[in-house]
Structure 1
């Protein structure tokens, strides 16, 4: 199992989350609606109000998640960061796998 983090404009978060679950590449997407990002872009320090998507999916589905995010995300360079999960409650893992098959 993996968790992929994706930040996006708040107005795009629900649609992006729904599209990942509808496509069965993610079992669940938690939307954290309010965060402020400070970052360097094109040699300037920028800031943006964003939502954070916490995407739960089988590790093998990362490329499908990445592709779906790139297709729907409004940013030129979206944040797509996957973290492998070593330990997970076995029934929850079973649900993740079943939800994405």
Structure 2
């Protein structure tokens, strides 16, 4: 049985997050993307502690498409090393799961 997963990533701007999110949803690789602007990140990069304003994107998809979503994020991302994490979903409401699964089926035609 197919399971739902979340693919978490961050982008440097709202414009980039929306553009990439739209492509992935249009390709039916994810049923939905939630875009959350206004995040502040502090992280270690190349020996320095950095600060950046970022945008979180959370893709809702089926487990079988997680690697394709990750590949599409990487393909369109401006970061050299984007944060891409696939998170299992422990539980999901049945009607929502049915919608997610339907929205990620190949387009009829």
TM-score tier (shorter): over 0.9
- Superimposed CA distance per residue, residues 37-86 of structure 1 (whole angstroms, 9 cap, x where no aligned partner): 11000111111100000110001111100110010000000000111002
For 1:57, the equivalent position in structure 2 comes to 61
Cα distance in 2 between the residues matched to 1:88 and 1:56: 11
Residue 5 of structure 1 pairs with residue 8 of structure 2: yes
How many residues are paired up? 101
Q: How does 1:17-56 map to 2 (within 5 A)?
A: 17-56=21-60
TM-score by length of 2: 0.90
**Of the two, which has the highest radius of gyration?**
2
Q: Which runs of no fewer than 5 residues in structure 1 stay unpaired?
A: none
Cα distance in 2 between the residues matched to 1:23 and 1:68: 10
Of 72, 78, 87 in structure 2, the residue corresponding to residue 68 of structure 1 is: 72
For 1:78, the equivalent position in structure 2 comes to 82
Q: Which runs of no fewer than 5 residues in structure 2 stay unpaired?
A: none
List, as ranges, runs of 4+ consecutive aligned residues in structure 1 with deviation greater than 3 Å. none
